[in-house]
Amino acid sequence: AVDIPCSAYRSQGSDARIEWKFQKGSSLVLFYYGGQLTEPYKTRVQFSLTSIHFTTVTRADTGKYICEVVGDNSQIARSEVNLIVQGTERRALAPVPLLPAHPA
């Protein structure tokens, strides 16, 4: 399991809006937006205000994770974390049971 901190959140107010993006090469994927995790991250990522938690990671998750926080005064704080997943790390991870989906 891996935790990626959002250090930008600490510099903004509690009503801040948070977006997470994943950059790999020239592609950019929005994976937390509008208060929701996007597919395919919903089943293996847990969101909190100060970090995201991956229950499992693979080498495909290697890349740059960008946390953008828009504060009350529309100022944007941004923090970036580079994640590198080695092949051996994947095999060392214990399987994590998926949490049951919340009823709508």
Q: What is the pTM of this model?
A: 0.77
pLDDT at 71: 84
pLDDT at 53: 96
Where along the chain do its domains lie? 2-83
- The CATH number corresponding to 2-83 among 3.30.1130.10, 2.170.190.11, 2.60.40.10, 3.40.50.2000 equals 2.60.40.10
**Cα–Cα distance measured from residue 36 to residue 88, given in angstroms and rounded to the nearest whole number:** 31
Dihedral Cα 14, 50, 69, 4, nearest 10 deg: 180
pLDDT at 92: 42
Quick one: tokens of 16? 């801040």
pLDDT at 52: 95
pLDDT at 98: 52
Low-confidence ranges of the chain (pLDDT < 70): 11, 13-14, 87-104
pLDDT at 103: 52
